[in-house]
Amino acid sequence: MTVEEAIQLQLRMAHLVEHRAPEGFEPKVAAGLDVAYTSDRFIATAVCVDIATLDIVDSAVHHGVADFPYVPGLFSFRELPALLPALAKLRVTPDVLVCDGQGLAHPRRFGLACHIGVQTGLPSIGVSKQALGQYEAPGPHRGDWKPLVDNGETVGRALRTQHGVKPVFVSIGHRIDLDTATELTLKLSPRYRLPETTRAADHLGREVLAGRVGVQDVRD
DNA sequence: GCGACAG
DNA sequence: ATCTTGTCGC
């Protein structure tokens, strides 16, 4: 797929994003997703976490050869082909996906979290370390936030997950609203800046790369 | 035209 | 994302 084709696909698929959670949405299990890279290979990880206890209840990995390069604005086309097979290997079906990147907070309103949400039909959110858009500094306390704005539109929030640390940037992916996404992010981040889901997925990827965890241990 | 640009 | 040394804090 060319860059132009990918952009056209984003513009068409952005209309499919649902900004509301399913009726009676009460997520119990959240899946953290991440992809780690070496020079030519990737390792995608999906880790299911019990939202109430933060216990890891399932995990899966998928590895292969990276083909689509990282192009700003087209991040999902690089990560999605790696992430979907990892997601498919999970035995537990998560209630919500937590992506390491943007959702609606994207130039064409279709970041990774939107893409993977629409593709799978699962509710999803994006929690990123770097903002795409403008924002004012939120208050210094955990839970403080300010709107993340792009082109005069509120596309997410700069959210303080820990007292005095740099905020994270939350946006909806699919089938969820911004308040619920914010609340979930805070539940998943009781101790560190980033959600436990993202931390667990990131950690698993590094362990596999380091050879300390075999792919067979997580059903490669 | 110039710089910035999720991971 | 990955490549890397040192440094600060619990």
**A209: which DSSP letter?**
H
Chain C bases near protein CB atoms (7 A cut-off) = 1-3
Kindly give, in sequence order, each residue whose CB lies less than 8 Å from that of residue A197, ignoring residues fewer than 6 positions away: A30, A31, A32, A33, A47, A49, A98, A188
3-state secondary structure of A122: coil
Kindly give, in sequence order, each residue whose CB lies less than 8 Å from that of residue A6, ignoring residues fewer than 6 positions away: A71, A74, A77
Please write the tens of the pLDDT for every residue from A27-81. 999 999 999 999 889 999 999 999 999 999 999 999 999 888 899 999 999 999 9
CB of A75 within 7 Å of some strand B atom = yes
- Distance in angstroms: CA A134, C1' B2: 19
Kindly give, in sequence order, each residue whose CB lies less than 8 Å from that of residue A2, ignoring residues fewer than 6 positions away: none
The percent of residues in chain A predicted with pLDDT above 90, rounded, is 89
Please write the tens of the pLDDT for every residue from A136-176. 999 989 999 999 999 999 999 999 999 989 999 999 999 99
- Nearest nucleic acid nucleotide to A101, CA to C1' distance: B6
Say how many C-beta atoms besides its own lie within 10 A of residue A93's C-beta. 12
CB of A32 within 7 Å of some strand B atom = no
Find the farthest-apart pair of alpha carbons in chain A and give their distance in angstroms, rounded: 48
Binding residues of A for Mg(2+): 34, 100
- Distance in angstroms: CA A41, C1' C4: 21
Distance CA A121, CA A22 (A): 11
Domain boundaries, chain A: 3-18+27-211
Distance CA A34, CA A83 (A): 8
Strand C, CB < 7 A, residues 164-203 of A: 202
Determine how β-strand A96-99 pairs with β-strand A29-37: parallel
pLDDT at A220: 56
CB of A204 within 7 Å of some strand C atom = no
pLDDT at A97: 98
- Nearest nucleic acid nucleotide to A39, CA to C1' distance: C2
Kindly give, in sequence order, each residue whose CB lies less than 8 Å from that of residue A193, ignoring residues fewer than 6 positions away: A161, A162, A165, A166, A168
- Distance in angstroms: CA A199, C1' C8: 22
- Nearest nucleic acid nucleotide to A79, CA to C1' distance: B7
A3-18+27-211: which CATH architecture? Answer: 2-Layer Sandwich (3.30)
